[in-house]
Chains A and B, each alone.
Chain A
Amino acid sequence: MARTITARLRAAMQAQETGEVLQTVCEIAHASIVDGPLRVVSDLQDFTSDGKTYTAFPFRVTLPASAEDGRGRLRLVLDSVDRRVLQAIRQIPPGDPPTVKVDLILASEPDQVQISFPELKLRNVTYDVFTVEGEIAVHEDDREPAPAMTFSPATFPGLF
């Protein structure tokens, strides 16, 4: 997670009241998504940052707390009343999750990313009539168990 918090955001965070708007933008990328990555912003109008246009779209990201133990996990909930997001997610083959990037940007400083959560993977996707939601986490190979399986009476009882 990268942080480059500007003085303006720091002042807005510390103020009791502010007119600053902190935009949450999300980019979902995968080779099977037609017409390039999905770029959405949780706002009521489109938002342009660093030459990229993010479409106004209702979604919610639960950000991880800064903790000493464990890795942070984020939860992404997208509105699915408009079926385009669900169709894009369904095109993605299993075992090849899309890459998700979540950035926090001040609307008054649109080209400055304040806090970034890059190179996340979207997993455990579930959906219903109204929402598509999934877990997004950093892919860390060094946290995978090695070896992946062991021969034990529980897993291979015929050997014992």
Chain B
Amino acid sequence: MPTWPVSLPQYPLQEGYKEAPGANVIESQVDAGPPKRRRRYTKRNDPHTMIFELDDTQLATFKSFYGTTLQDGNLSFDYVHPAEAVLATWQFQGQPEYRSVGGPLYQVVCQLLRTG
């Protein structure tokens, strides 16, 4: 499985970092009282939002990683969770967004799904 390139920042910016537990509840409405609910899957996929600050060279590396290595984001990759410091498996959810922050610096907004 591909691995997050070492030449790219290993930690996202603190500002804009978001993570949440994935939905794993299935509910049935009943005639009276709260809905019956149970766990749907034995494993959960957690969505994350990460923003990385890259220079020109790193941006080119990222674009190559996303477009070629991950086949336009279709493949999963390994990356160490920035908060938990454990190796995890990730998928891109949607396309990354690039924005210039002045000079040779860019921010890349990534919507990622932790799958393992």
Contact indicator A21/B45 (Cβ below 8 Å):
no
Residues of A within 8 A of B41 (CB): 21, 43-45
Contact indicator B42/A21 (Cβ below 8 Å):
yes
In the complex, A23 Cα to B43 Cα: how many Å? 12
Residues of A within 8 A of B115 (CB): 44
Asked whether B40 is an interface residue with its Cβ less than 8 Å from the other chain, the reply is yes
In the complex, A43 Cα to B24 Cα: how many Å? 11
Asked whether A50 is an interface residue with its Cβ less than 8 Å from the other chain, the reply is no
Contact with A along B23-51 (1 / 0, CB 8 A): 00000000001101111111111000000
Decide yes or no: A44 and B44 within 8 Å by CB, A19-B39, A20-B39 being known contacts. Answer: yes
Contact indicator B37/A44 (Cβ below 8 Å):
no
Asked whether A74 is an interface residue with its Cβ less than 8 Å from the other chain, the reply is no
Residues of B within 8 A of A107 (CB): 42
> How many Å from the CB of B47 to the closest CB on chain A?
14
Contact indicator B42/A22 (Cβ below 8 Å):
no
Contact indicator A45/B39 (Cβ below 8 Å):
no
Asked whether A128 is an interface residue with its Cβ less than 8 Å from the other chain, the reply is no
In the complex, A36 Cα to B36 Cα: how many Å? 38
Asked whether A89 is an interface residue with its Cβ less than 8 Å from the other chain, the reply is no
Which one, A10-18, A138-146, A147-155, is touching chain B?
A10-18
A23 nearest CB neighbor, chain B only: B42
Contact with B along A1-41 (1 / 0, CB 8 A): 00000000000100111111111000000000000000000
Interface size class of B (residues with CB under 8 A): 10 to 19
Number of A interface residues at 8 Å Cβ cutoff, please give it.
15
Contact indicator B38/A47 (Cβ below 8 Å):
no
Contact indicator A17/B38 (Cβ below 8 Å):
yes
> How many Å from the CB of A103 to the closest CB on chain B?
16
Interface centre among A20, A21, A43, A107 (most CB of B within 10 A): A21
Contact indicator A21/B40 (Cβ below 8 Å):
yes
- The residue that B38 contacts in the complex, of A18, A43, A44, with Cβ under 8 A, is A18
In the complex, A107 Cα to B42 Cα: how many Å? 7
> How many Å from the CB of B30 to the closest CB on chain A?
9
> How many Å from the CB of A97 to the closest CB on chain B?
30
Contact indicator B37/A47 (Cβ below 8 Å):
no
Chain A residues 88-140 with CB under 8 Å of chain B are 107
Residues of B within 8 A of A47 (CB): 42
Residues of B within 8 A of A (CB): 33-34, 36-45, 115
Question: 11 more A-B contacts (CB under 8 A) besides A16-B33, A21-B42?
Answer: A16-B37, A17-B36, A18-B39, A19-B38, A19-B39, A20-B39, A21-B39, A43-B43, A44-B45, A44-B115, A45-B41
